[in-house]
Amino acid sequence: MATETYILDVARIRADFPILQREIRPGVRLIYLDSTATAQKPLAVIEAMDRYYRWSNANIHRGVHTLGEEATALYEAARQRVARFIRARKAREIVFTRNTTEAINLVAYAWGRSQLRTGDLIVLTEMEHHSNLVPWQILAAEKNIRLEFVPVTEAGYLDLETYEHLLDQSPRLVAFTHMSNVLGTINPVREMAEKAHRAGALVLVDGAQSVPHLRVDVQALGVDFLAFSAHKMLGPTGIGALYAREDLLEQMPPFLGGGDMIKKVMLRTFTPNDIPYKFEAGTPAIAEAVGLEAAVAYLEEVGMEAIEAHERGLIAYALERLATVPGLKIYGPVADHRGGVVSFSMEGVHPHDVAQLLDREGIAVRAGHHCAMPLHEKLGLTATTRASFYLYNTYEEVDRLVEALHKVRAIFE
């Protein structure tokens, strides 16, 4: 059983999350181990969005009345907060999108379609989420560009030797995940970005899993694009962000056409708005931006370094305890090189059966290919079961997970 000393005051943090007080069935308390899919929301986020709808609900950038000015100020305050959180040079380098997926699509459509030519090369990896594969596949088919992939080793790392050989082919873009949503692998972004830039390539990083859990500094990492989602970092669904260098945003054409992304419209022509607004057509997710600002404030108050340290302790303990379950195979690197994610298979038991039986114990995990079918194919699997941890999870919950997995093993034996 767990005897570790907590780095965070987890009991106090858990009290901020109403859903964690829920019982799935009478006497069966919820153990939420699916934060990689979406994180739970603290009261601070729920109340901030409620307060906006109760007191300041109006459209932004248009009205000069009090509510319109309040809503605009709240929306732009969220942009400022997000920019500071990831250490962007300017708030105008933050474009609000629906999620990580839309942010990557924005780059593919606006930058890729305007800058890439037939025969150009994009380097991706075998561990990418579909959101960082399919947009480039669509672009490759449309513009006849090449896609090459950095392999994943048996230990769950990127093959950096092959990466360097691919860089010798002068790619225009390198796009990869900061942290794998299946293996938990934390990739060496700064090293990879430096090498890509020396080869003349731009760098896009999928930060959906890293921004919620690690201290991410876009200037220190040296990335050109970073995409992430609010709902994975304690915020609401329906809003995410794209960080892009100011000069790149200036050269990119608009992604969507409509209101607010224009300065002037005539019958046959239009003049686009300044950045970042030329990429934010129509009424945006205002309440969601308010919620995102509150989520970032909450994470900053807790401290990203403390969150990362807590999760490192949890994942190390989880890997040690899970190794006691007969027939269970864990995928990915050692604890020192992974985030709070562990995907596994159990001999003779389908991952969905594992997840359903764990749910009887109140334990919420994910089963499937986790939007990473090529990676599962590389592993020789159709699916895995995945448990993921965040700042509100405890060592005791790891123990409960392991106890429940022993029960699953016993049922199938």
In tens, the pLDDT along 121-134 reads 999 999 999 999 99
22 is catalytic: no
User: pLDDT-derived band of residue 63, with 50, 70 and 90 as boundaries?
Assistant: confident
Q: Quote the pLDDT of residue 9.
A: 94
Average pLDDT for residues 150-179, to the nearest whole number?
A: 98
User: pLDDT-derived band of residue 18, with 50, 70 and 90 as boundaries?
Assistant: very high
Q: Is the domain 46-301 a CATH 3.40.640.10 member?
A: yes
* pLDDT of 1 over the 80 cut: no
Q: Which of 371, 374, 403, 412 is catalytic?
A: 371
Strand partners, 232: none
Q: Quote the pLDDT of residue 62.
A: 78
pTM for this predicted structure: 0.96
Average pLDDT for residues 72-79, to the nearest whole number?
A: 98
Write out the two tokens for 223. Answer: 């990335």
> Contact 219/84 with Cβ under 8 angstroms?
no
**Architecture of the 10-32+303-412 domain:** Alpha-Beta Complex (3.90)
Domain with CATH 3.40.640.10 in the chain: 46-301
Q: Which long-range contacts (CB under 8 A, 24 or more apart) does 192-197 make?
A: 192/158, 192/160, 192/163, 193/221, 193/222, 193/223, 194/222, 195/163, 195/164, 195/167, 196/123, 196/167, 196/171, 197/222
Neighbours of 177 (CB within 10 A): 29
What value does the mean pLDDT of the chain take?
Answer: 96
- Give dist(CA 334, CA 337) in Å, integer: 6
* pLDDT of 324 over the 90 cut: yes
Nearest C-alpha neighbor of 177 from the set 196, 160, 158: 158
The percent of residues in the chain predicted with pLDDT above 70, rounded, is 99
